[in-house]
Amino acid sequence: MKTNSYAISLLASIVLAGLGGCDGNSESAGDINVTVENPITVDNSVENNTTTPPPVVEETPTPTGNCALVAEASFVSFNSDCSIGTLSGTIDSSYTLIEDVSYVLDGVVKVGNGNVEITSATQMQDIQAAGVTLTIEPGVHVKANSDGVLLVTRGSKLNADAYKAKPITFSSGSDANYAGTGEWGGIVIQGFAPQYGAGNTGACWADGNEYCNVAGEGGDFVGNYGGNLPADDSGIIRYVRMAEGGLIAGPNNEINGLTLQGVGYGTIIDYVQVHGNQDDGIEWFGGTANVTHAVLTNNDDDDLDFDEGYKGNIQHALIIKNQTSGGKPIGSNDPRGIEANSSDADYVPQTAAVVANVTIVGGDATNWDGTDFSGKEFGMRLRGSVTAAIH
């Protein structure tokens, strides 16, 4: 097997190697240190950034396959030499994606069954006990069909724990490069961490329950998430690249590169890149999940978007808006580097985040009102009842 010791772009490889002082192989690499060394920089001018190179990508070597190494399961099928494995349906038992196989997401691939409506504490306990883990080995490349989505439901986990020389890659299977956008869905992670509804509806749980049912954004298939477990653990996402996603599920209902719905701080998300997504790069819907060392490039809408009572830390991020888009965004009318929302003052608690050591490089895309250009967007917008510490 060849090893693929590259990042999705030369720029990203430099950043992933140099952001912060953590070693991606250390057990503490997911910890967030909110002691800041440099102030946030927000640059929304094209003129000052004409030397910024567009991301240049390299293709993952094609696995040779080895049928003696693969594990058969009802949710995966292999070609004759086992070099390609197609995932579909529900992953209802723990499973490992190995480096010797190139995988395909065919439709919505669901991990576990935790997105059902939970109506009792006993049912919640049963879902937690029945949770499964999808493990992805370093170096694996997952290519998605146009309807491909990876949905990890509450109670189950995604353990995608790689390192700099062998990142894990998710991309479209429709072409041989990473130049597309909106060519597949994205990754949706759901958990039992708190989410706070619109207006004065407050927390989604009640009467001392640890569970609740919040309908997730992204399409009817997403189902339910949420609870009252801030430390909930949905696994590890480390040295993972996600490219060309953002399938439009309906009006104002797109899929982000990485969607975090009620995900708890027991989850490790560190050294990740979202590239060329047609909607947001990473979006939090409530929850407490921290993210460190993130690279967001060429995403069409916002790059970091946190809403609905999210409380967590975001540190060491590089955001580069599209430098060659021709001015008009494809899937957004207000592309920003950072956006955060809460509906009004009745949100209790408010969306609250610590954002530190972030650089935003503006691009050519401007605000689009549906009929005409209406000027460039701000690099960051905090609206509603949002509490944020920006360093």
Q: Is residue 265 part of a domain?
A: yes
Report which of 90, 220, 203, 209 is spatially closest to residue 153, judged by C-alpha positions.
Answer: 90
Pairing of strands 84-87, 76-78: antiparallel
- With a CB cutoff of 8 Å and minimum separation 6, the contacts of 32 are 290, 292, 313, 315
Helix/strand/coil for 14? helix
pLDDT of 233:
98
pLDDT of 384:
74
Q: Is residue 2 part of a domain?
A: no
Query: Phi/psi of residue 151, each to 5°?
Result: -115, 110
| CA–CA gap between residue 239 and residue 29 (Å, rounded) | 11
| CA–CA gap between residue 175 and residue 66 (Å, rounded) | 25
pLDDT of 380:
82
| CA–CA gap between residue 38 and residue 335 (Å, rounded) | 25
Q: Within the chain, what is the greatest distance between any pair of CA atoms?
A: 59
| CA–CA gap between residue 275 and residue 298 (Å, rounded) | 6
pLDDT of 9:
45
Q: Is residue 302 part of a domain?
A: yes
Q: Is residue 1 part of a domain?
A: no
- With a CB cutoff of 8 Å and minimum separation 6, the contacts of 311 are 230, 288, 349, 351, 352, 353
pLDDT of 127:
98
Q: Is residue 168 part of a domain?
A: yes
Say if CB 93 and CB 202 are below 8 A apart. Answer: no
Sequence letter at residue 375: G
Beta bridge partners of 304: 282, 338
Q: Is residue 4 part of a domain?
A: no
Overall number of domains in the chain? 1
Pairing of strands 41-43, 351-361: parallel
**What is the distance between the terminal CA atoms of the chain, rounded to a whole angstrom?**
44
| CA–CA gap between residue 171 and residue 186 (Å, rounded) | 9
Place of tokens 């494809």: 330
pLDDT of 346:
55
Q: Is residue 184 part of a domain?
A: yes
Report which of 119, 114, 169 is spatially closest to residue 144, judged by C-alpha positions.
Answer: 169
Say if CB 219 and CB 141 are below 8 A apart. Answer: no
Q: What is the pLDDT along the chain (391 residues), one digit of tens a residue?
A: 333 323 344 344 434 444 544 444 443 333 323 333 333 343 433 333 444 444 555 566 667 668 999 999 999 999 999 999 999 999 999 999 999 999 999 999 999 999 999 999 999 999 999 999 999 999 999 999 999 999 999 999 999 999 999 999 999 988 778 888 999 999 999 999 998 875 445 667 777 788 889 999 888 899 999 999 999 999 999 999 999 999 887 666 778 999 999 999 999 999 999 999 988 899 999 999 999 999 999 898 888 999 888 999 999 999 998 877 565 566 666 677 788 877 655 555 678 899 999 999 887 666 555 555 556 667 788 877 788 888 9
Q: How many other C-beta atoms are found inside a 10 Å radius of the C-beta of residue 126?
A: 14
pTM for this one? Answer: 0.83
| CA–CA gap between residue 246 and residue 254 (Å, rounded) | 6
Say if CB 272 and CB 237 are below 8 A apart. Answer: yes
pLDDT of 352:
85
pLDDT of 22:
43
pLDDT of 163:
97
The radius of gyration computed from the CA coordinates of the chain, to the nearest angstrom, equals 20
pLDDT of 84:
96
pLDDT of 144:
97
Q: Is residue 286 part of a domain?
A: yes
Report which of 349, 130, 150 is spatially closest to residue 230, judged by C-alpha positions.
Answer: 349
Token digits of residue 326: 């021709």
Vertex 141 angle, CA 138 and 145, to 5°: 150
Question: Where is 168: in which H helix or E strand?
Answer: strand 168-172
| CA–CA gap between residue 299 and residue 319 (Å, rounded) | 9
Q: Domain limits at 83?
A: 10-390
